[in-house]
Structure 1
């Protein structure tokens, strides 16, 4: 099991009009390749790279990696490369030398590893198989009597966002108080994220739950208010 770094470029929402669907080249034996993809948040992604490394903490972007992406971007969608960039980032995924998932059942546990991109569509079936194998091994599978449902907040641009919902703002003016101007995130959404079943505990947690700090200015304008809200919670 080795870390495989993927670097990506996030383009500004102004580039969204260039793309109507995912543009994916022919995959290679190692990776599905560099693609161009619109996001539900209104941005456009270019990437990722596929760099096999030894350092499990190497989540930094590199000049060579970004140049590699730009080169592929010019071939896939030349107009995109000249658009404004909101952010660049990198992450590590667990890679193996095997072409399939690493799934193995032992006496008291099930090992599931090396899940590739197809895991996004197979994850529910994998979870069901794990439960079945653990039950067969003797684990008591007791259903939760009244499970609490975790509802994800609406962050998609194609749905009615709180800042544009007049009825919601009339009931609670906090949803009309914009904290993050770039992503149109309201004080009500920040408050909800800090008081949810799984509350945000730091700036990154708030970013993932609300998209505050994730826009053009990367927190230059809203960073102080976000920090104050965290401190108050």
Structure 2
């Protein structure tokens, strides 16, 4: 059975140290932005498959292939819906599949960043590019809620199933209706967590002064190698865009 909650698993930061997770946060951010833009430049299926292949070495270095596979499986219904809607309105099967592949490539790029980067590092990245701290803080808190939300969903599903709730599997609408009992507990838990967060910020006098940074980051030759790889990917994409 396809479990939609699987999509959250790849977005949970892993504590395992890998070659990719040890990179400078800005390097990972550059790679993320590159593979967020590159799929948007091409709309043919060959290019989208090629972009997915170009991301495979990064998945290998970050050891996220299994988790990303589960996330893709969890989002397969949504990807299928995108392909179907494109085919209905455009009547081009290859273009429709390419749009599904494009969304999958964006999902992979986002999952690699989220799985290998601590939310604090992401906040430091935004601070490096001079984003106001209150915006950075809000963004980091939103990211930190992703794994918490995933665990809450799993716990609520387990609790509701123990009470006899069954998630329908014989139709999209029936399955959507069977998930309605999960909404109210999720809303209540989210409100409670927001209240706890606001109290914690007030106790720590958030916003009373300029923030200082505890960690400092250094560039290494490994960062240089990954940046060169991204430049090569850009060259391949641009050449294909203008010469094919």
Higher strand share: 1
TM-score by shorter chain over 0.5: no
- Normalization by structure 1: what TM-score? 0.28
- Normalization by structure 2: what TM-score? 0.27
Tell me which of the two structures has the higher relative contact order, counting C-alpha pairs closer than 8 angstroms and 6 or more residues apart: 2
